[in-house]
């Protein structure tokens, strides 16, 4: 082989190496871009899930507060009814004693 042939083979090999390198760089760039897009999509989905969870938590807190308010109303109503029954019972007992006293006086 002559020096010219050796130089030609080296040049051809260098071109092939350069072509393979460029192809690899392009493939890496495509893979990198795809990975970035997938990461962005996953982050967006995660943000939506976080917002949904926050909203569900806020809704649950509101329901809990409403239930607590209803419970307090029910307790207040029960206490008022209990007091009303006590007053009615006391008045009935007074009336009964008064009637008994009037019956005894007759």
Q: How far is Cα 7 from Cα 88, in angstroms, rounded to an integer? A: 119
* pLDDT digits 0-9 by tens, 7-23: 999 999 999 999 999 99
Q: How far is Cα 6 from Cα 43, in angstroms, rounded to an integer? A: 54
* pLDDT digits 0-9 by tens, 36-83: 999 999 999 999 999 999 999 999 999 999 999 999 999 999 998 888
């Amino acid at each position: 082989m002559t020096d010219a042939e050796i130089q030609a083979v080296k040049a051809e090999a260098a071109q092939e190496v350069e072509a393979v390198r460029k192809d690899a760089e392009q493939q890496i760039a495509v893979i990198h871009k795809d990975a970035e897009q997938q990461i962005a999509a996953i982050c967006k989905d995660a943000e939506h899930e976080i917002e949904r969870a926050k909203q569900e938590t806020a809704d649950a807190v509101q329901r809990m507060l409403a239930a607590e308010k209803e419970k307090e109303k029910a307790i207040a109503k029960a206490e008022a009814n209990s007091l009303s029954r006590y007053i009615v019972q006391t008045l009935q007992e007074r009336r009964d004693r008064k009637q008994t006293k009037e019956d005894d006086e007759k």
